[in-house]
Chains A and B, each alone.
Chain A
Amino acid sequence: MLSVLLIVLAASFFTGVLIRTKSIASGRKGPGIFQPLYDVFRLFRKGAVYSQTTSFIFQIAPTIYFTSVVVAMLVVPFGKSAGLISFDGDFIFFAYVLGLGKFFSIIGAMDTGSSFEGMGASREALYSMFAEPAFFILIGSLALLTGHTSFHDIFLSLHLGSSVSYALGALGAFVLLMIAMIENSRMPIDDPKTHLELTMVHEVMILDNSGFDLGLILTAGFLKFAIYGTLIFNLFSGTISYQYAIPLFIAMQLLLAVVAGIVESFMARFRMTHNAQYIVVLSSVSLLVFFATLLISGKFI
């Protein structure tokens, strides 16, 4: 239960802090930290407009996408407290519930029949396909290391206090952070600020969504960032007591947002062909974690 509250809390300020950091870095004042939230509330009060060429798939896709993110959120633990849903093998459930949501957002985009959205959908599918092995190799290795298959047990027993687990945690944090950037179509993979349909990935898929549906999609994006942030926090938190864990969590989320904002301000985004190479690199970092695990547990002859 605690994790859900904290994720919602982190989601409320994460994107705002990121945008504010970018504004300040470019010498501007920037909008308030809660501006993204106000925008979403405004969208929730609006009706949606549907193109005549779309079918029911386009109408249900945003809801399914949002639901999948919310269900995935329920699985995520926070330190000692398990997620609302917790069972053996829940990390596979987590990945594929998100996958289901993504599937619907992709076919929802295809349903519009727009050539732009088709291109965006194809890019999104490609990047998710490359990012998936990175996630599974990473969490699978941790499961192998700890001998548990649920998020809660994995993260609890990961905290062995040894320097090795921190090293693995650091690599894991890198992979999860990068997956979060890909999933949320942030730099350097995608440029959320661009107005050019031809270069967009995620933004172009939701061009036809409006009003309430758009609000759902944006909210799901905020939540996703916080979900990955919480997973990263869990890599290190172990059994720290709540009075330290909660402020630490919030500080870490703020730090992540500021770092992401600074990275986005001072570099150009990748060329589209380089994106795929870059994402495949994440899988090799995960493989590093995997081999380290084999070495530690003595399974590597």
Chain B
Amino acid sequence: MNYISIKNNQTVLLSDIPESNYEWFYEMNIEFMTGHPERHCVNYFGYRVGKNVKLICCVADDVTHEIHISTSLVNKAHPLESFSNTFLCFEKFEREIHENFGFNYTDHPWSKPVRYPHDRDDKTQIMDNYPFYSIDSEELHEVGVGPIHAGIIEPGHFRFICNGEQILHLEIQLGYQHRGIESLFVQKKQLAQRATLAENITGDTVVGHGVAFAHVYESLANFKPARDIEFARTLALELERIAIHVGDLSAVCTDIAYQLGSAVFGRLRTPIINFMQEWCGSRLSKSLIRPGENRYPFTPELAQRLCQVLDVFEPDFMEMANKLFTLPSALSRFERTGVVSFDDALSIGAVGMAARMTNLNRDIRASHPFSLYAELEHEPILKRHGDVYSRVQIRRREVEQSLRYVRTMLTDVPEISTVNQELKALTPNAFSLSLVEGWRGEICHCALTDTKGELMLYKIKDPSFHNWLALALSVRNNEISDFPICNKSFNLSYSGHDL
């Protein structure tokens, strides 16, 4: 037993996490994963302790609802055996450790740079000499897209190797958006600054990351949020899911040049985000979620107003969704485009919709319930084909499901708690972990405190971190002209990956 099992949003003392040598650490974590598709690594990172680096590996078990934490103290001088060689889902984490601390792996498939952080170990590695995969052939051609996106959203470089119109390989290079957000969490001392940082990890998952930060912080401060606080968080998460999913449906329609869908879904996103403005003054829900307080109480008047909004929204949404999913020209673009198999999704550690589209049941709302999700008895929506159609269908079904949840919650709006609890100081020498199912998938925030109870390390894992590889796999053997629709159907975050 060289590990400790915790629940979601639980704080443990650092001294309570058993430390083992790397061989033990390696074998134990490999053993965790072998033959257990329900277990997946939610975070694996290192931090400097003197001249050594301490590795912390967090493996979540979806059946027992526990997260197994194990640590190991290693030194750069000794090359390490890589987890990735057995379980590819560790690939990104180990590349990050290699990039940050210069660890060499004896058998890592390809430890190329992840995001070029300022404090990377090897300063000679720069964007310009990124080691792209290439194939020498007269018959193949390379197409480089970006870093400036055609729709000028966020920067990222995509290198295709194509045989005519067919994609053989896609390599995605990110890191242009790196802002050092994890170290900013440690530098900025005020709670409001940190909460604002959390909301800006990725601009489309304001509530998701906000809730993850709030949970970690409250857990470290030993604060038990009242029911009305958790109610507001759950409601905001579901409303964010509805708004973004509807916006994505609109964007998918734009990409297949279906003007009606693009216009109608685009319009339908507006009432939901406008309601957020009525609630908290920001259409993107900024400053709604704060640790330890219910800044914008959800009043019965707001509940009534939301009911009205949904009554108008729902029939229009259903009508347009039925229209889209019976339109032959649209279905011919969706079906069998950009397929990811169950085995691939499992091996790369896909999370959220990217996992559920292949029948891989990954949903934190069900497996590690937080806020009020235990009461809602969430049933994840699963699809089997792993194509664009599955991804679009999941969005539609999740919007319908979220509408049901919101309506259920509106029947029982909790009273605003009058007891004004103060947030206490953080527990010193502690580790805390929070998992949240944002609209895109599993968000993991980990925090470590030092002897004075100050934040020492803050680690963030956005669902995009693993899912970008799913996109790269999905476009293989597809036409290059279908790339935009594959990309949009995943709708991954650049800034969430780059941090």
Contacts and interface: CB of A to CB of B under 8 A. Distances in A.
Interface string A39-67: 00000000000000000000000000000
Nearest to B335: A271
Contact of B257 (A122, A193, A272): A193
A266 B257 contact: no
A163 B186 CA distance: 84
Interface string A237-267: 0000000000000000000000000001111
Q: How large is the interface on A (under 10, 10 to 19, 20 to 34, 35 or more residues)?
A: 20 to 34
B457 interface: no
B259 A274 contact: no
Nearest to A126: B165
A265 B333 CA distance: 16
B480 A269 contact: no
B36 interface: no
Given A191-B257, A198-B481, A198-B483, A267 B141 contact: no
Contact of A274 (B142, B151, B253, B332): B332
B259 A196 contact: no
Contacts of B267: 27
B479 A273 contact: yes
Given A115-B141, A115-B144, A198-B145, A268 B258 contact: yes
B257 A269 contact: yes
A271 B337 CA distance: 10
A162 interface: no
B389 to A, nearest CB: 13
A214 B370 CA distance: 57
Given A27-B267, A188-B329, A271 B482 contact: yes
Given A198-B481, A267-B327, A272 B165 contact: yes
Interface string A209-228: 00000000000000000000
A198 B484 contact: yes
Most chain B beta-carbon neighbours within 10 Å: one of A28, A115, A265: A115
Contact of A266 (B143, B150, B151, B260): B260
B63 interface: no
Q: How large is the interface on B (under 10, 10 to 19, 20 to 34, 35 or more residues)?
A: 20 to 34
A268 B145 contact: no
B329 A270 contact: yes
A37 to B, nearest CB: 23
Contact of A119 (B257, B480, B482, B484): B480
B320 interface: no
Contacts of B400: none
Contacts of B141: 115, 118
Contact of A195 (B143, B151, B262): B151
B332 A271 contact: yes
Contacts of A187: 257
B330 interface: yes
B474 to A, nearest CB: 15
A155 to B, nearest CB: 34
A22 B259 contact: yes
Interface in B128-181: 141-145, 150-151, 164-165
A127 interface: no
B416 interface: no
Interface in B478-495: 479-484
Contacts of A194: 254-255, 257
A277 B480 CA distance: 18
B482 A272 contact: yes
B409 interface: no
B56 interface: no
A196 B158 CA distance: 13
Contacts of B482: 199, 271-272
Contacts of B145: 197-198
Given A195-B151, A271-B482, A115 B257 contact: no
Most chain A beta-carbon neighbours within 10 Å: one of B141, B259, B330: B259
Contact of A26 (B144, B263, B330): B263
A27 B264 CA distance: 9
B303 interface: no
B497 to A, nearest CB: 21
Contacts of A197: 145, 150
B256 interface: yes
A236 interface: no
Interface in A111-166: 115-116, 118-119, 122
B260 A265 contact: yes
Contacts of A119: 143, 165, 480
Nearest to A196: B484
Most chain B beta-carbon neighbours within 10 Å: one of A193, A199, A268: A268
A268 B256 contact: yes
A288 interface: no
Contact of A268 (B164, B330, B483): B330
A196 B151 CA distance: 7
A25 interface: yes
Nearest to A194: B257
A268 B258 CA distance: 4
A271 B256 CA distance: 9
A266 B256 CA distance: 12
Nearest to B262: A26
B303 to A, nearest CB: 30
Given A115-B141, A195-B150, A272 B481 contact: yes
Contacts of A264: 257, 259
B332 A115 contact: no
A196 B150 contact: yes
A28 B479 contact: no
B484 A115 contact: no
Interface string A177-208: 00000000001100101111111000000000
B257 A268 contact: yes
Contacts of A269: 256-257, 329, 333
Contacts of B256: 268-269
Nearest to A197: B150
A262 to B, nearest CB: 10
20 contacts: A25-B260, A26-B262, A115-B141, A115-B142, A122-B164, A191-B257, A193-B257, A194-B254, A194-B255, A195-B151, A196-B484, A198-B143, A199-B482, A199-B484, A265-B260, A266-B260, A268-B257, A268-B329, A269-B256, A271-B333
Given A119-B165, A268-B256, 6 more contacts: A115-B143, A199-B484, A268-B330, A268-B333, A271-B332, A271-B482
5 closest residue pairs by CB, A with B: A191-B257, A26-B263, A268-B258, A268-B329, A269-B257
